[in-house]
């Protein structure tokens, strides 16, 4: 039932993005605290997949973000790291520099072919067959749009067979330094 609810929420978010109605409600939040909380929530899944999950988020990284939306982004990245991680370690790190919060998720899994890197943030795009790995190809699309709605960016570095690192950069002042913002679909 939880999986069905997640899929419904993803489809609703895709609709909100397409109609430019995805909203972010910026408030004071600590990116390190968000990372620790979400990693604890995902720890049982990581353990079931035999992927040790390490979190380096000791120092506070305060900013103005929509906590629920940033949790959604990290949840999507962790879900993918667990799914494609082949039982190898996953690390999450949070730092701040030059007015930006930085959240990085690294796995040592199957990696992504260079030819697929340019399209993985697209709607319904997948770098691997859905026959072998479940999902609709919406998680990275939604993560990308949520991060952009916050005025940030999401980057990926990957080598097939060696894993992937997704890095989210978020302005510490949040989306346009305003309490609320509405995403503009790309």
> Which pLDDT does position 176 carry in this prediction?
47
**Residue carrying the six token digits 């996953």:** 90
**Residue carrying the six token digits 């004071």:** 28
Helices (H) and strands (E) counted in the chain, each on its own, are 5, 9
Q: What is the mean pLDDT of each run of 10 residues along the chain (186 residues)?
A: 55 57 84 98 96 96 94 95 94 96 96 84 55 62 91 95 96 59 44
> Which pLDDT does position 114 carry in this prediction?
87
What are the structural domain ranges in the chain? 26-171
> Which pLDDT does position 138 carry in this prediction?
80
- Structure tokens of 60? 């506070």
> Which pLDDT does position 25 carry in this prediction?
84
Helix, strand or coil for residue 171? strand
- Residues whose CB falls within 8 Å of the CB of residue 28, separated by 6 or more in sequence, listed in order: 62, 63, 64
In this prediction the pTM is: 0.80
Architecture of the domain delimited by 26-171: 2-Layer Sandwich (3.30)
């Amino acid at each position: 039932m939880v999986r069905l609810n997640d899929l419904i929420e993803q489809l609703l978010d895709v609709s909100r993005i397409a109609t430019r109605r995805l909203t972010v409600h910026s408030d004071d939040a600590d990116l390190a605290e968000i990372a620790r909380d979400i990693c604890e929530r995902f720890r049982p899944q990581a353990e079931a997949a035999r992927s040790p999950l390490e979190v380096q988020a000791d120092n506070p990284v305060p900013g103005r973000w929509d906590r629920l939306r940033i949790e959604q982004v990290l949840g999507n990245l962790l879900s993918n790291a667990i799914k494609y991680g082949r039982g190898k370690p996953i690390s999450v790190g949070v730092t701040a520099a030059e007015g930006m919060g930085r959240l990085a998720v690294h796995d040592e899994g199957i990696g992504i072919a260079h030819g697929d890197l340019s399209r993985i943030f697209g709607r319904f795009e997948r770098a691997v067959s859905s026959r072998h790995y479940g999902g609709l190809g919406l998680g990275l699309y939604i993560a990308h749009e949520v991060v952009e709605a916050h005025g940030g960016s999401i980057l990926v570095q990957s080598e097939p067979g060696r894993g992937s690192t997704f890095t989210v950069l978020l302005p510490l002042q949040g989306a346009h330094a305003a309490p609320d913002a509405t995403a503009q679909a790309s």
